[in-house]
Structure formats: C-alpha cells, structure tokens
Structure 1
Amino acid sequence: MSHVPFDHLQRYADNVTTDVETAVIEAHLAGCADCRSALGAVAPRVEDLWVAMAPALAIARRRPSPLVRAAAWASPAMVPWVLMTFAVAALAVVTDLLGTELPSLVLLLAPIAPVAGVAAAWSSGMDPAHEIVACTPRAGLYLVLRRTVAVLGVVLPVLLPLGWLVGASPARWLLPCLAFTATTLALGTLVGVRRAALGLVSVWVLLVVGPSLVTATVPALLSPAMAVLWLAAAAVASVLAVARASLFTRLTGDR
C-alpha cells in the first residue's frame, strides 16, 4: 500500500490542503496506522484525535452488508433519473395497453431508457461529490463501468417484464439499448456524458420515435435483421470508450 508523502502530511497538519486533498488524505488515514503515526510526529494533537476515533474507525472497517456493497456501485445522483425512467416506462406500458394503433412505445423508448441514468452516473455537473470521487484511486473508466452496470442492473430487469407484458420482445430492443449505453460513454469522452446522452436521446426521438408515431409503423432499425448492426455499434463504441478511458477523470464542470 502506498502512503501519504511526509510533505502532504505536513500541509494537512498546517491546514493548508485543498478540500479535495483533505478528503483524500483523511480517507487514507482512516485505514493506515503507519500514516497516522507519521502524522502524530508533526501534529501530536491530530494524532490524539485519530486515537480517540479508533473505535469508530474499527466499526467503519467492518465488512458491509450485501445491500450496502450493492449500493456502493451506484451514485446517489442517478436515483431521480432512474425513477424518471421507470415513470416514463410505466406511462409507455399504459399507452400500449390502451390498444392504440401506434407502434409500441415500450419498444421505441427501451433503447434509450438507461441513457439518463448513465449520464447521471458519471457527470460532474450532476454529482456534487464528483471532484472528491474523481480523486480516488478507482476513478475513471473502472468507476464509470461500475456505475453503468448499476444503471443497467436496475433498468433492464424492469424493462424485460414490461416489454413482455406489451409484446415488445427483448430481441428487438436489448442490443440497441446496449449500443446506446456504450455510445453514450464513448461520446462522453469528447463532449461530456451529459451532453452525449442529451444528444443521442434527441436524435433518436426526432429521427426515429417521432416519424414512427406519425406513420404508425415500427422503424426498420428495430427489426431483428438489424441486430448485427447494433452489435457492431456497441462493440465499436466500447472499444472507443476503453481507448479514451483516462478522459473520464478530466471532464469539466459543465459536463
């Protein structure tokens, strides 16, 4: 395990570190007795404080429950966006069950359903704690993928039964859904995840959903024959996202 450099400990003891540096150093001190001892050499009073906190730190280091570990994959910022996705999906199901002549709204919206949650999962503009999280050792693509998996793990289990209920087979929307998710991440390295998500959703609604509702026909892009195209798009976007992984830690505040 790497340790906090002595000069950083000195700056921490003198209270001249930035908020982000302070958060990172304190997170390390919570689990490193050697660094706490080193800090005691430059700031005995601070060492006394850490000694007093030892019982609480021991409790904090206990193995968390499975529910807590699962929640650690998600970002609190994405919760309202996932709930909004559920609300839109429920509205689409109600519309489909009314027996209108229009194509299934669940089928049309399922490909872009996770995009809002993915945008919130790693967006500096939506997460107040983004700067602190971005300074952690696991920041970057690793954390982005964890949070993306968390979004898919919540959204897809809801879409599958809803799609079955209205007759929208997963064979028609699952690959497009994964392709949109990967493309959001890939474009996110260029323009920011939030902007990428907004752009993709806008294009899909304007060029696919809108015309499909006007003509009352299912778009060719959602036909089973297009599965190979969607698989290729997902693969290419995934490769681009991995190739530009380091950029996820350098998104600006408005992204």
Structure 2
Amino acid sequence: MTHPTPTILTRYAHGGNGLDDATLWSVEVHLDGCADCRAHLATPATADLLDRVAASLDQAIRTGPAPAPYRRPAFTVHRRWLAWTLLPWLAMTIAVVTCAVALDRVAPSLPSLVLLLAPVAPLPGVAASWSRRFDPVWELIVTTPSAGLAMVLRRTLAVLVVVLPVLLVAGLSTGTSLALTLLPCLAFTAGTLALGAFVGVRPAAIGLGLAWSGAVLLPSLASESLSPLLRPGSTALWAVAAVAFAALVPLVATHFRRLRSGA
C-alpha cells in the first residue's frame, strides 16, 4: 500500500490547499482503509473537537423529542393487496351473478346460470389484479421484494373475499349446490395461478374463461341441459382439481418473479 506523503496529508488536513481534485479523491479513498494515516491526521485539537461534537449529539438525542413512529406509506399497503382499478371488474362480476340469480328464478327450466358462471366468476378480478394494463403503478410494485407469488396470492385473496360471499348468497338464494358453486370457483382460480406462472396471470384467466365458455357454458345453454361437469356426481372431481392446482402453485413460485406485462 502506498501512503500519501506527510506533506500531502498536511495539506489535506488544512482543507486541501494546493491539491488537485484527483489527489484529494485518492487521499480520501486511502483514508477509508488506512488507520495509520487517519491516526496521523487526528491531532489533539481534532480529537477534542470530535469528542465535543459526540457529546453534543448525545445530549441532543437524550433531551430531544422521541422519533416519530415509522408509518408505511398507505399506497404500498393497499397496493400489495388491491389494485383499485379492478373495482369496476368486481362490480361487474357482482352484477353478472345478480343477473344470473334473477334469470334462474324467472326461467327455472333452464340450466342454472349461477352454476355455469361460478367457475369463471373470479377470473376477471384475478386477471385485473396483476396486470400492467390495469395497475398504474405496476412497474413500481413489481420491482419491490414483496412482488412475485406472495403479491399474486394476496391480490387473488382480495378478489375471492368479494366473489365467494356473492356466490354463496347466490347459491343459497337459488337452491343450487353450494359445493358445485364454490369448488369449481376455487379450482379455476388455482388453475389460473398455476398456468399463469408460465404464460402470465391475465392470459391464463382469459384462456380458461374462453375455454369454459366454449366447452361448457354455451353448449349447456344451447341444449338447455346442465353439463355433466356441474352435476352432483362431479363434486369430488372439483375438490381434487382445486387441491391439485393449489398444491402446484407453490412449486412454480419462482416463475412469478419473471412475469412481464402479460402477467
């Protein structure tokens, strides 16, 4: 290690008189790692000044006001759980389920719209809760340590907290099977997250919603007959599907750290 000469250290101690910027910078870098040179600069007057400054700071800390408690910025708290822009989607879901209840009562001979819509009811909210298109601070949130699977699960839970009670009330009011109302909903939600780890949550929700509409919902309405997938014997199948997809989600957790705008 090459130490600064005593002349350079003396000039540095007196404010850097006669030293160019490069020399000043190199001396400061050297002092960070050299205790001997720092001791050379520590004259009795300097040491006395530092002692008095330290004593003054200690006194100010003891007699000053207590530090204000840390409060997490409000936007970071609610943004972890909810993107306010998905509220219209939740309102739309509630309105659609309400209409399904009304149609079930008006036309009881038709297949239950509550059962047909229950599996895909949470998907619009889940898609909107983790998407650059619907969250104006998506770029900020996605770069935080709390992003990834944990945030996806929190926001999905926020959607289910709204949608599941609505479906529960809809099922009770129409006399449909609560198991066939809630289990397909949970299975599709977990399936969206499992598939979303690879293709993005929003594309997964859209894809599963379209698949269900084309394979089950529309054919059931056209034939005026409820699909076998929503008859009492299918309860165990939906329970197994919900558990299987839910168990798969943690196994693909690392994929959620790489979600892009299609998430």
TM-score (norm 2): 0.68
| Change in CA separation of 1:237 and 1:157 when aligned onto 2, cut-off 3 Å | same
Q: Are 1:154 and 2:162 matched, yes or no?
A: yes
Return the alpha-carbon distance in structure 2 between the equivalents of residues 160 and 235 of structure 1.
Answer: 20
Unaligned runs of 5+ in 2: 1-64
Look up the match of 2:71: 61
2:224 to 204, 216, 221: 216
Aligned ranges 1:174-213 → 2 under 5 Å: 174-213=182-221
Q: Are 1:119 and 2:119 matched, yes or no?
A: no
Look up the match of 1:252: 260
Return the alpha-carbon distance in structure 2 between the equivalents of residues 248 and 202 of structure 1.
Answer: 23
Return the alpha-carbon distance in structure 2 between the equivalents of residues 209 and 200 of structure 1.
Answer: 12
Q: One-letter code of the match for 2:122?
A: P
Deviation at 1:166, TM superposition (A): 1.4
Return the alpha-carbon distance in structure 2 between the equivalents of residues 112 and 172 of structure 1.
Answer: 13
TM-score (norm 1): 0.70
Return the alpha-carbon distance in structure 2 between the equivalents of residues 157 and 209 of structure 1.
Answer: 22
Return the alpha-carbon distance in structure 1 between the equivalents of residues 88 and 142 of structure 2.
Answer: 21
Number of corresponding residues: 197
SS in structure 2 opposite 1:218? coil
| Change in CA separation of 1:157 and 1:71 when aligned onto 2, cut-off 3 Å | farther
User: In the alignment, is the contact (CA less than 8 A) between 1:212 and 1:219 conserved in 2?
Assistant: yes
Moved more, 84-93 or 245-254: 245-254
Look up the match of 1:166: 174
Q: Which structure is larger by alpha-carbon Rg, 1 or 2?
A: 2
Return the alpha-carbon distance in structure 1 between the equivalents of residues 207 and 164 of structure 2.
Answer: 22
Equivalent pairs: percent with the same residue? 50
User: In the alignment, is the contact (CA less than 8 A) between 1:124 and 1:251 conserved in 2?
Assistant: no
SS in structure 1 opposite 2:81? coil
| Change in CA separation of 1:122 and 1:109 when aligned onto 2, cut-off 3 Å | same
Q: Are 1:136 and 2:144 matched, yes or no?
A: yes
Deviation at 1:239, TM superposition (A): 2.6
Give the root-mean-square deviation of aligned CA atoms: 2.5
Deviation at 1:161, TM superposition (A): 1.0
Look up the match of 1:241: 249
Return the alpha-carbon distance in structure 2 between the equivalents of residues 214 and 189 of structure 1.
Answer: 34
Runs of 4+ in 1 over 4 A off after TM superposition: 57-60, 68-72
Q: One-letter code of the match for 1:179?
A: A
Deviation at 1:78, TM superposition (A): 1.8
User: In the alignment, is the contact (CA less than 8 A) between 2:120 and 2:185 conserved in 1?
Assistant: yes
